[in-house]
Chain A
Amino acid sequence: MALHFVDYLVLVLYFGFVLGIGWFLRKHVRTSSEFLTSAHSLPLWITSLAFLAANMGALEMIGMCGSGAKYGMLTSHFYWVGAIPAMLFVGVFMMPFYYGSKARSVPEYLKLRFDEKTRGFNAITFAVMTIFSSGISMYALGILLQAIFGWSFTFSVLMSAGIVLAYTYLGGLSSAIYNEVLQFFLIVAGFAPLAILSVQKAGGWEGIAQRLSPQMTQTWRHLSSPADNPMGVEVFGLIMGLGFVLSFGYWCTNYLVVQRAMAARSMTDARNTPIVGAFPKMFIPFVVIVPGVAAAALAQMGAGYSIPLKNGGPDYDKVLFSLMEQFYPSGMLGVGLTALVASFMSGMAGNVTAFNTVWTYDIYQSYIRKNAPDSHYLWMGRMATIFGTGLSIGAAYLATQFNNMMDFLQLIFGFVNAPLFATFLLGMFWKRATGNGAFTGLLTGTAAAALTYSLTLAEGKGGWLGVLHEFPSSMAQNFWVAINAWTVCFVLTILVSLFGKARPDEELVGLVYGVTKHEAEAAVWYKRPAMIALAAAVLCLGLNLIFY
C-alpha cells in the first residue's frame, strides 16, 4: 500500500491536534486529583463518548472487521449482547456506589467495601494487566504497520507511544478523555465510508443476504446448537458466558472504562455516562462489522475483491486493510490509516491513565508512601505515566521475542477477570458479604477458570491436565471458563461470608444497596438514568429483532 504526501498530511494534522489539546489542558492540572481523576469536572457528552472510545482499540477494530468476514452478523452479539446490557446495568445500579462512595478508583471501592487484601489483589493484577494489554496491542500494531506500510517496528511503536505519553503527561486524564472524543469521531469518520461503499458495491444488504448463507446475516436463528453456526456457540453459553459473566465483568468492574464515568461532574451525569454511551455503541457494528460481512459477499462476486490469504488460508486480520486498499484513494486512505492509529492511541491512553491512577492511589499511596503532600502524588502520577508507557513499550518488545508467553499471559489475565463481577455483585447488593469471603471467592474463581481450561480442549487449546470435554470452538470454551469461574466465586464468597462476621450496617452506608438511603433523582424525567436506559434497551432489542 503506497502512501501519498496528502496521507501523511492528514496524519500530521491529527498528531498536531492531539498534542495541542494536551498543551492547552496542562494549565488545568494543579492537583493529583485533577491529573488522575479529572476532579469530577467533565460534561456528560464528553465522558460518554470517552467511555466508548477507551474500549475501541485498534485490535478490536481490526478483529471485529475480520470477525464480520468470518462469522458474519453473529459478531454483533459482542455489542448487542456483550456490551449494551452491562453498560445499562452499571449506569443504573452500580454507578451510585462507585461515584457515591467517593472512592477514587475501582480497587479503592473494594478497600472501602471489603478490606485491604481484596483491594491489593485487584490493584496489582489490574496494574500488571494494563501494562501487558497496552504492550500487546502496541506490538500487534507495530507488526501490522510494518507489514502493510513498510514502517519499521521501532518507529511505529515509539511514535505512537511517544505522542500518547506527551498528551497524557501534559493534561492527565482530562487530556486523555478529550482526545478520546476526537478519536471517536475520527474512528467513525475513517471507517463509516468503507461500510457504505462496500455494502453498495455488494448490492446493498439484499445483495449480501443473497450471496451469503443465512448464518452470516442473521444473529439468533442458528444458535440452538453449536453445529448450526460458524462461531460454534449455543444460546445459553452466549447469553451466560458473553452476555452476563464476561460482559458485566468488563463493563461493570474494569477501572479503565469506569474511570471515564467517575470523571463526570455530577452523580446523574456519572450514571448517564455508560447509558448515553450505549446509543452510539449499538450502532458501531454497522461501522466495523458490516464492512467485514460485505467483504465476504464481495469475495463471492468476482468483482475483483478476494479475502487476503496467509499460508493458504484466509487472513481475516487483513480484511480491513484490504478493503481500504480497494475503496480508499490517497487522501481518504490517510483518513482511514489515521483512524486506525487514533483507535490504537485511545486504547493505549485508556490503559496508561488507568494504570497511573491505580499505581499512585492504590499501590504507592497505600503501601509505599502514605501521608505525603498532594504535590508529591501529582509528581508520582506524572512519573507513573512515564514509566507505565516505558513498561508498555518494554512489553511490546518482549512480545517480539516471546510471542507465546504473551498469549499465555493474556490467558492468565482472562482467568483473573472472569470471577470479578461476582465479587462486585455481592459486594454492592448483599450486605452480609465479607472481605474474607470476597478474597476467597476471587482466588477460587480464578483457580476454577484455570482448571476448566486445563481440563477441556477447543481448537487444540487447553487440556493441560487431561480432556474431560471438547468444545466446538475456543470461543465456546472461553464462555464456559468464565461461567465456571463466576459460579465458583459467587458460591464460595457466599459460603465463606456466612461463616464470618458481617460489618455493621452503618459502616456500609454509600457502599451497599439496601443500607444506603435512596435519594430521589433530581433530574427531569427524560434525563433520568432509568428512563434513558429503558429507551436504549428498547432500541437494542429492536436491532436484535431486525437482524434476528
Chain B
Amino acid sequence: MLDLRKPAGWFFLLLGLILSATGLAFDFKAPLLDRNLNLEFGIFSLAFGGVFLWLARRA
C-alpha cells in the first residue's frame, strides 16, 4: 500500500516552495497584517513536508 507520508510530504514541500517564493518575490499585503506571512508559512511548510519525507525514507 502507498506510504501516505510520501504524498503528504511532497504536497507540503511544494506548497512551501510556492509560498516562500511568493513571499520573497512579492509584497502582498492584507489590511491587518504587518509581517511576511507567505514567507513564514512557506518555510514552515517546507520543514513540515521535509519531516514527512524524512520519516517515510527512514521507514
Contacts and interface: CB of A to CB of B under 8 A. Distances in A.
A487 interface: no
A178 B1 CA distance: 11
Nearest to A181: B4
B11 A17 contact: yes
A303 B32 contact: yes
B4 to A, nearest CB: 5
Interface in A303-336: 303-305, 325-333, 335
B55 to A, nearest CB: 11
Given A331-B28, A331-B38, A6 B18 contact: yes
A329 B18 contact: no
B32 A327 contact: yes
B53 interface: no
A13 B28 contact: no
B33 A327 contact: yes
Given A189-B45, A193-B41, A197-B33, A330 B28 contact: yes
A189 B43 CA distance: 13
A21 B19 contact: no
A331 B32 CA distance: 16
B15 A335 contact: yes
A461 interface: no
Interface string B1-29: 11010011011101100110011001011
B41 A326 contact: no
Query: Chain A interface secondary structure, helix, strand, loop or mixed?
Result: helix
Interface in A254-305: 298, 303-305
B48 to A, nearest CB: 8
A479 interface: no
Given A21-B7, A185-B12, A329-B30, A41 B37 contact: no
A469 interface: no
Contacts of B15: 10, 13, 335
B2 A25 contact: yes
Given A4-B28, A28-B1, A13 B41 contact: no
A356 interface: no
B7 A332 contact: no
Interface residues of A, number: 38
Contact of A328 (B1, B10, B37, B45): B37
A331 B21 CA distance: 10
A174 B31 CA distance: 42
Nearest to A332: B37
B10 to A, nearest CB: 8
A181 B5 CA distance: 10
Nearest to A193: B41
- Which of B32, B37, B45 counts the most chain A CB atoms within 10 A? B32
Contact of A331 (B2, B4, B18): B18
A77 interface: no
A41 B19 CA distance: 35
A6 B2 contact: no
B7 A305 contact: no
Contacts of A42: 1
Contacts of B7: 17, 20-21, 24, 178, 182
Interface of B: 1-2, 4, 7-8, 10-12, 14-15, 18-19, 22-23, 26, 28-33, 37-38, 41, 45, 48
11 contacts: A21-B2, A182-B11, A185-B12, A193-B41, A298-B32, A329-B29, A329-B30, A330-B28, A331-B23, A332-B19, A332-B37
Given A197-B32, A298-B32, A331-B22, 15 more contacts: A6-B26, A9-B18, A21-B7, A24-B7, A25-B1, A174-B1, A182-B4, A185-B8, A197-B33, A304-B32, A305-B32, A326-B31, A328-B33, A329-B33, A330-B28
